[in-house]
Amino acid sequence: MTEPLLSIEDLTVTFRTRSESVRAVDGVSFEVYPGETVGVVGESGSGKSVTMLSMLRLLPRTSRVITSGRALLNGKDMLRASRRELRRIRGREVALIPQDPMTCLDPVLRIGGQLGEALRAHSSVSRDEQRKRAVELLASVGLPQPDRQYGQFPHELSGGMRQRVMIAMGMANNPSLLIADEPTTALDVTIQAQVMDILREAQAETQAGLVLITHDLGLIAEMADRVVVMYAGHVVETGEVNAIFAKPRHPYTVGLLGSLPQTGGDQDWLRPIPGSPPDLARIPTGCPFHPRCLHSHGREICRTQLPQLTPIGSDSTHRTACHFSDELADESIHGLLTVAQEIQ
Ligand SMILES: Nc1ncnc2c1ncn2[C@@H]1O[C@H](COP(=O)(O)OP(=O)(O)OP(=O)(O)O)[C@@H](O)[C@H]1O
Ligand code: SF4
Ligand SMILES: [Mg+2]
């Protein structure tokens, strides 16, 4: 069996302030294999970005952070890598495509200069070769006039073009893993689709693994092979994309899917999950989802025992953390849960 590219094992990340500790990630484990796309979903604040940023060791240095567990990238534990090793690994083995390219692009440097820097960081190529490769990269992400864009400044490009530049920079050194954190939220719908196509093509060419963090379940359905559902810093369900969409076995996932805009009638509409995510400094006891769960029916075990991520039947790839996931095997319950949401 192929070795995973990335193996996150029991990752816990706690932010300490003077008055409290915020456990943003709690015991998260999942793998990414070469060539596969893993979608990470969950409401705002569920720990998606912190999971990946702590793996990349890119959490702001100003925060007091306590991290435990392991994050093996090609067998190397990123949490214990030296600064020097990190510099080597970032860009060459793993690249981050951020939500907002302006936070990563230097406004006073031309696109070509920034791409050249990314290329130079990991190989000794001549200036001419560098330029050639940079223009090729810009063409490969579908920029209309790559020679021209090479000489332009970030502010001269549209949002979609800047996002493509970020993909080109991410791909510059053919990393084995790409992490895209909400890569298209700032873009309009048609540009979103184009950017995702480009990402998919770039990935197919290099067989890179892709972690796609997004709120957009439609995008997950289209792009992901596997899905990791996060709630309050925990993985609550994971499995093949078809299993998650067709047979979700965690009430939170059922809720997320129920919140998908339904097309039909006069307008799109949303059914929100009742309540809001917990304050991470005061995560509820037992199952963190219990105060909002429409399936708990006040059962004591939900309030007292943290459910562990457990395989469903013989399908070891589909796992869920709910004491009563068996009851969700009966799909008529899904209907009841979404109806209950509707009348909340
Ligand atoms: N630098 C920080 N200092 C203190 N707490 C932080 C810091 N960054 C994140 N957190 C905490 O970690 C929680 C999880 O944040 P994270 O950014 O991972 O959420 P997310 O799932 O990516 O949400 P979104 O969908 O809004 O991007 C936040 O709610 C916040 O409480
Ligand atoms: S363990 Fe209980 S509270 Fe948690 S998701 Fe399952 S039914 Fe709901
Ligand atoms: Mg985030």
- Residues 215 and 254 grouped into a single domain: no
For residue 180, what pLDDT is reported? 93
200 within some domain:
yes
Identify the H or E element spanning 254. helix 251-258
Q: How many CA atoms lie within 13 A of 139 on its CB side?
A: 7
Measured between alpha carbons, how far is 84 from 95 in angstroms, rounded to an integer?
16
**Total tally of structural domains belonging to the chain:** 2
Cβ neighbour number for residue 25 with a 10 Å cutoff: 30
Contact yes or no for 5/65 (Cβ under 8 A): no
101, two tokens: 């390219």
Does the CA dihedral 283-29-308-318 come out positive or negative? positive
Pocket test for ligand 2, best of 231, 250, 287 (most atoms within 8 A of CB): 287
231 within some domain:
no
User: Which phi and psi angles does 43 have, rounded to 5°?
Assistant: -65, 170
For residue 266, what pLDDT is reported? 42
Pocket test for ligand 2, best of 285, 305, 322, 327 (most atoms within 8 A of CB): 322
3 state SS of 164? helix
Question: Does ligand 2 come within 6 angstroms of the Cβ of 293?
Answer: yes
Distance from chain centroid for Cα 250: 19
- Residues 216 and 252 grouped into a single domain: no
229 within some domain:
no
Distance 193 CA to ligand 2 centre (A): 36
Contact yes or no for 202/164 (Cβ under 8 A): no
For residue 326, what pLDDT is reported? 93
Per-residue pLDDT 10s for the chain (344 aa) are 689 999 999 999 999 988 899 999 999 999 999 999 999 999 999 999 999 999 999 998 777 999 999 999 999 999 999 999 998 898 889 999 887 777 788 899 999 999 988 888 777 778 888 899 999 989 988 888 999 999 999 999 998 889 889 988 888 888 999 999 988 877 777 877 888 888 888 888 889 999 999 988 888 999 999 999 999 999 999 999 999 999 999 999 999 988 655 554 444 444 568 888 899 989 999 999 999 998 999 999 999 999 999 999 887 899 999 999 999 988 777 777 777 776 76
For residue 265, what pLDDT is reported? 45
- Residues 218 and 264 grouped into a single domain: no
Question: Does ligand 2 come within 6 angstroms of the Cβ of 253?
Answer: no
- Residues 34 and 153 grouped into a single domain: yes
- Residues 136 and 67 grouped into a single domain: yes
- Residues 187 and 316 grouped into a single domain: no
Give residue 66's domain range. Answer: 6-224
Measured between alpha carbons, how far is 109 from 150 in angstroms, rounded to an integer?
11
